[in-house]
Amino acid sequence: MSTSTHRPRTPAKGRPRDIRPTTPPRPTVPLWLITVTALVAATAIAAAVLLSGTRPSRPPAPPAPPAPPLTAVAATIDGQDIPVRELALYLAQERAATFTHFRQKYGAEDGPGFWTTEHDGRTPAAYLRERALADVTRTTVELTLAHRQGLLADSGYDAFLHNWQTENARRLKAVTAHQVIYGPVQYTESNYFTYVLSNLAADLRNKLTETRAITTSDTALRSYFTAHRGDFPHQSFATAHDSIRQSYVLDRYRALLDRLAGSAQVRVHRAVFDAVPVD
């Protein structure tokens, strides 16, 4: 008779059981709490922007077209080409008046976007160019008239530039030689243009009076004196005769230029004209 001895079973060899405790599920954040948090954050950001005085940045403006060369033709007036260089003189002269107009009428302030911001459908840049075009039209018909009256050999801007450079060279030579000159040693382009035009206008008025294109009859002068009596206070027609004649001739001269400018044939070369810088 055999006897058997019962032995305790040993566990089978292999990977030990994972006896770590199971991690409990994370609590879910309510949707309403996420929404409230987002609103609070947005309100805080907006408040910070207002308190700091800053504004959200605007998208950048499209790049301006390249400036045309100074010799490019911006307009043609009664067959006379107007180069960019000449137009630029009138743009510079009208800048202050344009700024004042938009500041007073629309409250516009100077800044990077001043010239390109529209007011009633028009930008200050467009307004400035219109004023400059009106000015150069009036001057062009005046120079053309002086040329027809034999007071100007060439009414083109190239001829003016040549005369300007020649005059500055003459003045510099005179100063070097210790000679007396009147006026500046060197004229700027703008100052010389104003100087020449002012003298030419006076000569042209005299010429038009001599040729009776502007008549100064006693009847015309008396009528002018009566209509503008307030311009000659405490004076009789006899004592104010010379002043009356001068004012009358100037008035008729301006009216003549207005008529010529109003009937001038103006052709604007838009691709060049609109690309001329104004700032």
DSSP calls for 171-194: HHHHHHTT---SS-SS--HHHHHH
Instruction: Provide the token pair at 234.
Output: 């405490």
Maximum mean pLDDT: which of 26-35, 41-50, 128-137, 231-240 = 128-137
pLDDT at 279 (0 to 100) = 80
What count of other Cβ atoms lies within 10 Å of the Cβ of residue 76? Answer: 15
Q: Residue 273's pLDDT is what?
A: 97
pLDDT at 112: 87
**Partners of 267 in beta bridges:** 76
Q: Which of 132, 129, 133, 134 is nearest to 115 (CA)?
A: 129
pLDDT in tens, 118-157: 999 999 999 999 999 999 999 999 999 999 999 999 999 9
pLDDT confidence band for 11 (50 / 70 / 90):
very low
Q: Give this prediction's pTM.
A: 0.75
Q: Is the pLDDT of residue 206 over 70?
A: yes
Q: C-alpha distances in angstroms, 79 versus 29, 133, 137, 155, 268?
A: 80, 15, 11, 11, 12
Residue pair 158/73 in contact (Cβ under 8 Å)? The answer is no
- At 162-187, the pLDDT tens digits run 999 999 999 999 999 999 999 999 99
pLDDT exceeds cutoff 50 at 235: yes
Q: Return the bridge partners of 81, or none.
A: 76
Separation of alpha carbons 214 and 252, rounded Å: 7
Which class in CATH covers the domain with range 73-273? Answer: mainly alpha
Confidence of residue 54 (pLDDT cuts 50, 70, 90): very low
3-state SS track over 36-67? HHHHHHHHHHHHHHHHHCCCCCCCCCCCCCCC
Residue 86 pLDDT exceeds 70? yes
Contact, 135 vs 98, CB < 8 A? no
98-127 pLDDT, tens digit each = 999 999 999 999 888 999 999 999 999 999
Question: Domain segments of the chain: what residues?
Answer: 73-273
Burial (Cβ within 10 Å: 0-12, 13-18, ≥19) of residue 77: buried
**Is residue 28 pLDDT above 80, yes or no?**
no
In the chain, beta strands by DSSP E = 73-77, 80-83, 266-268
Residue 46 in this model has a pLDDT that exceeds 60:
no
213 secondary structure, DSSP code: S
10 Å CB burial of residue 245 (0-12, 13-18, 19+) is: middle
CA distance 20 to 22: 6
